[in-house]
């Protein structure tokens, strides 16, 4: 096989410096803030910063940097920054506030996040995340984000998977929307004040390097096709995750890896690319024309119970199966955490039941998520509150339904619209789907990539979630990076840059980068083959899901690499893009993104092949406990893989060793 001829060169060294401050874990960030360099206000006004993406990380960064006095250029491919895909996050945002007096603390949030990530993230970054988490809630409340509240007027919390405290703040099932609109308003305020300029319907196509530093970008105006040169003293990639490499995912249709991938090809290392999150509770695939999958928030696992019939291939309807013939398999296997085990564990357990023949629905690739008991329980509580003695089952149900509706109404409505079934009456059918990517551009403690002046924030970087992200931690990380980390770390770099004059976009490096982009677009337009972009994207998605999805093995991954290479060759010979590149052309936009996915997919498989252990969402069939749980191999794989791009299909692997100062990694146990 072609793959066998590739030699992965590896360096187990500190070839790249992660710049973690010295001193005890709990003092590092304070120490850093006390000693980092600052830029004086008069100089900030002269410094232009480029921010790619307007999700939670990008919008919060652009707004905060604008407030500080920098001149910010903010880019998004959507028609408005408010539409970035953070808007779709449902469940909530974690913070170590301990408002519930249930024993929460910065250390516990840190520990849960590190353990949840199966000890494959850098502890100093995770500790800082836990430290700033409380400030995020304060900031958002000050902006007018309408979080859910109790009758006393104080903030309400709920539980999420993988933890035993209630630290998740939420706004019904639309927390991401409310947080993003908060960041978006802050951003628009800076636009009004003239500190930020937004370039919507623009896509970053290339990073411009001058003297080894990122100094700008080439962006394409998607409405006119015009290529634009933008100078900046620093470039921040906040472009989200790469889940759409699987074609079917819970990501938005436009979510893509392009900005991060261009940065990677220009020298930024890509870390832990195989680490993807498969969310256990999504609406199952129903047909061939399906364009995306829809998530049902993890918050539903607070109250919903997951089950399959005890009998194989049971043809009865859910409501006809009596209680004693149901297998609540998560409660059975993991009594301590029950339905609230972390996402990777819940996903694999669903796959195990379905593969063993216990799946439900027409495709048999689904399990039930049932609210009957919660409706009953809440109904009884409400009847008690209202002083109703001996309520009938009907009255209990009536009151219970009201509570469930208030908590999850929008999710239930969404389910009904998609499936045509009423989840208040019959249990939801759910199945795991690609949802989030923990991997991303490698960053140091300052969120700088391996390229000077090129930063990466939010889901686009690999930094905080290791091999598995806990629920309600993505919103926390996006906002932590944008509001509370980058305002300090960027200044530390820019303080040294004020001595350089702005560079004209007539500089040769801009011309060369623009020419490269123009040539790539011309090449795509010139193929004039037979098939649409989606045709190739769907095929890539099938390969990725089959071989680099919920379970992976050596033979499959090698097979996948081979198939991806063949598909990539076919793409460049047989793609058809109608129209011209000098107008709005969504097929051309998609083609550029899929061309990048076709390169990334190979790297994901390569990384999964290299990591011959199971950890978090990365499950290598060769490495499991007798009970089928993920089995880590800390002796060989206690590192972050950071891949350096050499040429298409060729990388060099660097390894950042992981050393844990305060905790001893153990086999994760949620039983």
Partner 1 sequence: MSFLEMFDVLNERLIEEGEDPIAFDHDCREGICGACSMVIDGKPHGPWAQNTTCQLHMRAFQDGDTIIVEPWRAKAFPVVKDLMVDRSAFDRVIQAGGYISVNTGNPADANAIPIDKKSADDAFAAAACIGCGACVAACKNSSAMLFAGAKVSQLALLPQGDPERKTRVIEMVAQMDKEGFGSCTATGACEATCPKGISITNIARLNKEYMRAILSSEEA
The nearer residue to partner 1, 140 or 441, going by C-beta atoms, is 140
Residue 161: phi, psi to the nearest 5? -65, 150
The verdict on 535 binding partner 1 (CB under 8 A) reads yes
The verdict on 547 binding partner 1 (CB under 8 A) reads no
Q: Looking up tokens 């063949």, which residue turns up?
A: 566
Q: Least separation, in Å, of the C-beta of 126 and partner 1?
A: 21
Q: Least separation, in Å, of the C-beta of 590 and partner 1?
A: 10
Tokens read off for 203: 């896509």
Tokens read off for 235: 């470039």
The verdict on 647 binding partner 1 (CB under 8 A) reads no
Q: Least separation, in Å, of the C-beta of 253 and partner 1?
A: 6
The single residue among 3, 26, 36, 88 that binds partner 1, judged by CB under 8 A, is 88
The verdict on 226 binding partner 1 (CB under 8 A) reads no
Burial of residue 581 (CB within 10 Å: 0-12, 13-18, 19+) is: middle
The verdict on 540 binding partner 1 (CB under 8 A) reads no
The verdict on 532 binding partner 1 (CB under 8 A) reads yes
Under 8 Å CB-to-CB from 657, ≥6 apart: which residues? 12, 14, 638, 639
Instruction: Give the per-residue SS3 of 378-409.
Output: HHHHHHHHCCCCCCCHHHHHHHHHHHHHHHHH
Choices 250-258, 302-310, 317-325, 351-359 (CB under 8 A): range interacting with partner 1: 250-258
d(CA 170, CA 167): 10
Choices 373-381, 396-404, 550-558, 582-590 (CB under 8 A): range interacting with partner 1: 582-590
Cα 395–Cα 398–Cα 399 angle in degrees, nearest 5: 90
Q: Least separation, in Å, of the C-beta of 191 and partner 1?
A: 5
The verdict on 420 binding partner 1 (CB under 8 A) reads yes
d(CA 532, CA 551): 30
The verdict on 102 binding partner 1 (CB under 8 A) reads no
The verdict on 470 binding partner 1 (CB under 8 A) reads no
d(CA 365, CA 361): 7
Q: Checking DSSP bridges between strand 168-169 and strand 93-94, what pairing results, if any? A: antiparallel
**Torsion over CA of 13, 19, 22 and 28, rounded to 10 degrees?**
-130
Q: Least separation, in Å, of the C-beta of 289 and partner 1?
A: 5
Q: Least separation, in Å, of the C-beta of 582 and partner 1?
A: 13
The verdict on 154 binding partner 1 (CB under 8 A) reads yes
Q: Least separation, in Å, of the C-beta of 291 and partner 1?
A: 5
Choices 72-80, 103-111, 262-270, 615-623 (CB under 8 A): range interacting with partner 1: 72-80
Choices 59-67, 256-264, 559-567, 651-659 (CB under 8 A): range interacting with partner 1: 59-67
The verdict on 150 binding partner 1 (CB under 8 A) reads yes
Q: Checking DSSP bridges between strand 48-52 and strand 71-75, what pairing results, if any? A: parallel
Question: What single DSSP character describes residue 26?
Answer: G
The verdict on 101 binding partner 1 (CB under 8 A) reads no
Choices 108-116, 246-254, 371-379, 605-613 (CB under 8 A): range interacting with partner 1: 246-254
Under 8 Å CB-to-CB from 391, ≥6 apart: which residues? 379, 380, 383, 399
d(CA 284, CA 359): 11
Binding residues for partner 1, total number by CB under 8 A:
80
The verdict on 384 binding partner 1 (CB under 8 A) reads no
The nearer residue to partner 1, 91 or 309, going by C-beta atoms, is 91
The single residue among 38, 418, 569, 648 that binds partner 1, judged by CB under 8 A, is 418
Residues 253-272 that bind partner 1 (CB under 8 A): 253-254
The single residue among 43, 105, 135, 197 that binds partner 1, judged by CB under 8 A, is 135
Per-residue contact track with partner 1, 272 to 311, x per CB under 8 A? ---------------x-xxxx-xx----------------
Residues 550-569 that bind partner 1 (CB under 8 A): none
The verdict on 148 binding partner 1 (CB under 8 A) reads yes
Phi/psi-derived region of residue 316, left when phi > 0, alpha when psi is between -120 and 50, beta in every other case: beta
Tokens read off for 591: 């083609």
The nearer residue to partner 1, 142 or 393, going by C-beta atoms, is 142
Cα 307–Cα 286–Cα 162 angle in degrees, nearest 5: 40
Task: Tell me the β-bridge partners of 9.
Answer: 652
The verdict on 185 binding partner 1 (CB under 8 A) reads yes
Per-residue contact track with partner 1, 191 to 210, x per CB under 8 A? xx-----x-x----------
Closest by CA to 595, choosing from 360, 262, 317, 292, is 262
Measure CA of the first residue to CA of the last residue in the chain; give whole Å: 42
The verdict on 483 binding partner 1 (CB under 8 A) reads yes
The single residue among 104, 118, 188, 344 that binds partner 1, judged by CB under 8 A, is 188
Choices 44-52, 447-455, 577-585, 644-652 (CB under 8 A): range interacting with partner 1: 577-585
d(CA 397, CA 374): 10
Q: Checking DSSP bridges between strand 440-441 and strand 367-370, what pairing results, if any? A: unpaired
Task: Tell me the β-bridge partners of 10.
Answer: 653
């Amino acid at each position: 096989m072609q793959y066998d001829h590739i030699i992965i060169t590896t360096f187990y060294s500190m070839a790249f410096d992660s710049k973690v401050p010295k001193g005890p874990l709990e003092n590092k960030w304070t120490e850093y803030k006390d000693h980092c360099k600052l830029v004086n206000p008069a100089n900030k006004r002269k410094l232009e910063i480029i921010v790619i993406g307007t999700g939670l990380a990008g919008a919060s960064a652009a707004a905060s940097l604008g407030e500080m006095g920098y001149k910010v250029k903010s880019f998004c491919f959507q028609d408005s920054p408010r539409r970035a895909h953070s808007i779709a996050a449902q469940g909530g945002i974690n913070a170590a506030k301990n408002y519930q007096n249930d024993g929460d603390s910065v250390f516990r949030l840190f520990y849960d996040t590190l353990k949840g990530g199966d000890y494959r993230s850098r502890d100093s970054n995770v500790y800082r995340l836990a430290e700033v988490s409380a400030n995020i809630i304060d900031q958002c409340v000050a902006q007018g984000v309408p979080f859910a509240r109790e009758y006393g007027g104080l903030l309400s919390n709920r539980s999420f998977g993988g933890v035993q405290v209630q630290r998740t703040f939420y706004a019904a099932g639309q927390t991401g929307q409310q947080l993003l609109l908060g960041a978006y308003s802050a951003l628009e305020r800076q636009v009004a004040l003239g500190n930020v300029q937004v370039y919507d319907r623009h896509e970053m196509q290339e990073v411009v390097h001058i003297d080894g530093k990122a100094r700008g970008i080439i962006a394409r105006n998607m409405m006119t096709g015009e290529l634009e040169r933008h100078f900046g003293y620093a470039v921040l990639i906040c472009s989200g995750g790469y889940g759409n490499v699987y074609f079917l995912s819970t990501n938005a249709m436009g979510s893509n890896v392009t900005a991060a991938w261009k940065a990677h090809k220009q020298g930024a290392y890509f870390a832990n690319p195989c680490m993807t999150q498969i969310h256990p509770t999504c609406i199952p695939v129903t047909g061939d024309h399906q364009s995306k999958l829809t998530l049902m928030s993890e918050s539903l696992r607070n109250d919903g119970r997951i089950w399959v019939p005890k009998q194989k291939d049971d043809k009865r309807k859910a409501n006809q199966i009596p209680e004693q013939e149901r297998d609540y398999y998560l409660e059975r296997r993991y009594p301590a955490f029950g339905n609230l085990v972390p996402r990777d564990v819940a996903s694999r357990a669903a796959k195990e039941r379905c593969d063993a023949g216990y799946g439900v629905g027409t495709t048999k690739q689904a399990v039930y998520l049932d609210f009957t008991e919660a409706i009953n329980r809440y109904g009884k509580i409400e009847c008690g509150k209202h002083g109703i003695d001996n309520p009938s089952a009907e009255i209990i149900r009536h009151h219970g339904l009201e509570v469930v509706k208030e908590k999850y109404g929008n999710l239930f409505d969404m389910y009904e619209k998609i499936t045509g079934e009423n989840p208040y009456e019959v249990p939801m059918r759910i199945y795991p789907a690609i949802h989030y990517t923990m991997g991303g551009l490698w960053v140091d403690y300052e969120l700088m990539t391996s390229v000077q002046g090129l930063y990466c924030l939010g889901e686009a970087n690999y930094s905080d979630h290791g091999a598995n992200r806990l629920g309600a931690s993505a919103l926390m990380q996006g906002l932590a990076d944008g509001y509370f980390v980058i305002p300090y770390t960027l200044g530390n770099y820019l303080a040294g840059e004020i001595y350089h004059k702005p560079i004209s976009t007539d500089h040769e490096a801009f011309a060369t980068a623009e020419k490269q982009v123009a040539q790539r677009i011309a090449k795509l337009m010139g193929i004039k083959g037979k098939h649409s972009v989606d045709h190739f994207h769907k095929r890539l998605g099938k390969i990725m899901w089959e071989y680099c999805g919920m379970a992976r093995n050596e033979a499959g991954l090698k097979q996948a690499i081979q198939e991806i290479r063949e598909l990539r060759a076919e793409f460049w010979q047989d793609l058809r893009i109608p129209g011209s590149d000098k107008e709005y052309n969504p097929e051309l936009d998609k083609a550029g993104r899929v061309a990048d996915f076709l390169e990334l997919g190979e790297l994901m498989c390569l990384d999964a092949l290299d990591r011959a252990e199971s950890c978090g969402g990365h499950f290598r069939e060769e490495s499991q406990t007798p009970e089928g749980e993920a089995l880590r191999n800390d002796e060989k794989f206690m590192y972050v893989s950071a891949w350096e791009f050499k040429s298409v299909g060729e990388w060099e692997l660097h390894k950042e060793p992981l050393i844990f100062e305060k905790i001893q990694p153990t086999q994760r146990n949620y039983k």
